Structure 1
Amino acid sequence: MAVFRPGPSYGGRVIEKSVDVVLPCLNEAEALPWVLERVPPGWRALVVDNGSTDGSAEIARSLGATVVHESRRGFGAACHAGLLAAEADVVCFCDCDASLDPGLLTEFVQLLSDGDDLVLGRRRPESRGVWPAHARAGNWALSKMVRRRTGLRLHDLGPLRAARREALLKLDLTDRRSGYPLQMVVRAADAGWRVREVDVPYLPRSGKSKVTGTWKGTFQAVMDMRKVLREGAAR
């Protein structure tokens, strides 16, 4: 049975460890400099270009990131391509739209060293309007379903997360759409992982969300994730 651990506040400890940070990217040229500047020193940024047309890949490369190309569209496809390209013992995931600070991942990695298996960021909006009502409602409904399905007292299915690479690969994640983050949590719970949720600041993103920027996008994401929950229950 999975074990849920509420997270602490950030202590700002510096971690000397090699880590790969997967940054799924679709037309995020404006946000990339801010995001890459905040990847902790010594860690490798893996920007997974998912078909950008705004020069994102070139910008990422010029700023020192390793660029991975994934032609198949989909958030899960980009995340998994980054996981397969990763080589470090620890792999982190972060959106590439400047809504989340990858520098916060140092605390996540420390928690892995302290015994957790999967650390998730619970988004806390820093200002009004950061998290649209439809996206918040969809996340609330899914979190409730996840709690019922796994027993984990989670409040968010956000993209900021960290785990060990070999363990993630053994989960055999198959979703390549919006359900990828959820499938990771469900399969981790089924495998008895120790899961912790930590509050993180949620900032105004750069540009419009490709997944939950509209009611239609949110609805499609919820459908993708409900499909994952049905599959998980049948495993």
Structure 2
Amino acid sequence: MTNPSRAPLVDVVLPCLNEAEALPWVLSRIPPGWRAVVVDNGSTDGSADIARGLGATVVDEPRRGFGAACHAGLASATADVVCFCDCDASLDPTSLLPFVEAVRSGDADLVLGRRRPRARGAWPVHARVGNLVLARLLRRRTGLRLHDLGPLRAARREPLLELGLTDRRSGYPLQMVVRAADEGWRIAERDVPYLPRTGVSKVTGTWRGTWQAVRDMSRVLAEPAASAHAVQEGSPR
């Protein structure tokens, strides 16, 4: 990871809730010169201390929620390009290298990872079905022919902040795509290997978690394009 005295080439935001077991592998895969920004979302297993010990920048976000953690990381980032990656070892941060290249070259404004399972059980059926439904709803809403709304992604920091993202729960990744599409961003999708996660999933590991995520995202899709940016941060999700 980057020397703290130098500006990072890229910031990788890693939302974290009790991922002590996965952190060593994830942080070892951060490309040289990039900075890992681990956003601790209330861990009780020592994740924050482990991340610090491995050289990551740790941001504390006490308000629970995937979106809350992601946005806290984005707000703390300083690099021109910011990436997002799960912290459970299901996704390899090195897969982000071509994402960043596409953003820097101007070929795309936002690059998303299309998850390709590498082992049986890496992507539970209920989670995959929920993702498929949302991808189809997104196509109706924006015209984008995307296959996945996964967490691995890259874009420039300032434009991301200007999107005015307000969702602080599971709808955050989808809201990013919807608002980017409304702003005319060029959005690309790249295949990435998807591995069985380390530990227990907090969202899509159960039918209930998947249903909650789909419900959060459905609310995002219901936002009218013209008034989406008028939603206040404190609105219930």
Do they superpose with TM above 0.5? yes
Letter in structure 1 aligned against 2:175: Q
| Partner-residue secondary structure (3-state), 1:231 | coil
State the partner residue of 1:88: 79
> Over aligned residue pairs, what C-alpha RMSD do you find?
0.9
Question: Conserved in 2, the CA contact under 8 Å of 1:18 and 1:43?
Answer: yes
State the partner residue of 2:205: 213
Selected match of 1:224 from 207, 216, 236: 216
Q: Shift of the alpha carbon at 1:234?
A: 5.7
Distance 1:23 1:113 in 2: 21
Distance 1:189 1:89 in 2: 20
Q: Shift of the alpha carbon at 1:153?
A: 0.6
Question: Which structure has the higher relative contact order (CA within 8 Å, separation 6+)?
Answer: 1
**Aligned length, in residue pairs:** 219
State the partner residue of 1:104: 95
State the partner residue of 2:37: 46
**Residue 160 (structure 2) pairs with residue 139 (structure 1):** no
Letter in structure 2 aligned against 1:82: G
Letter in structure 1 aligned against 2:27: L
Q: Shift of the alpha carbon at 1:128?
A: 1.4
Distance 1:232 1:38 in 2: 39
**Unmatched 5+ residue regions in structure 2?**
1-7, 228-237
State the partner residue of 1:26: 17
1:146-190 per-residue CA deviation (whole Å, 9 max, x = no partner) reads 111111110000000000000000000000000000000000000
Q: Shift of the alpha carbon at 1:233?
A: 4.2
**Residue 172 (structure 2) pairs with residue 175 (structure 1):** no
1:91-135 per-residue CA deviation (whole Å, 9 max, x = no partner) reads 000000000000111110000122110000000000111110100
Distance 2:155 2:225 in 1: 23
Question: Conserved in 2, the CA contact under 8 Å of 1:187 and 1:232?
Answer: no
Instruction: Please report the TM-score for the alignment, with normalisation by the length of structure 2.
Output: 0.91
| Partner-residue secondary structure (3-state), 1:174 | coil
Percent identity over the alignment is: 77
Instruction: Please report the TM-score for the alignment, with normalisation by the length of structure 1.
Output: 0.92
State the partner residue of 1:11: none
**Unmatched 5+ residue regions in structure 1?**
1-16
**Residue 171 (structure 2) pairs with residue 165 (structure 1):** no
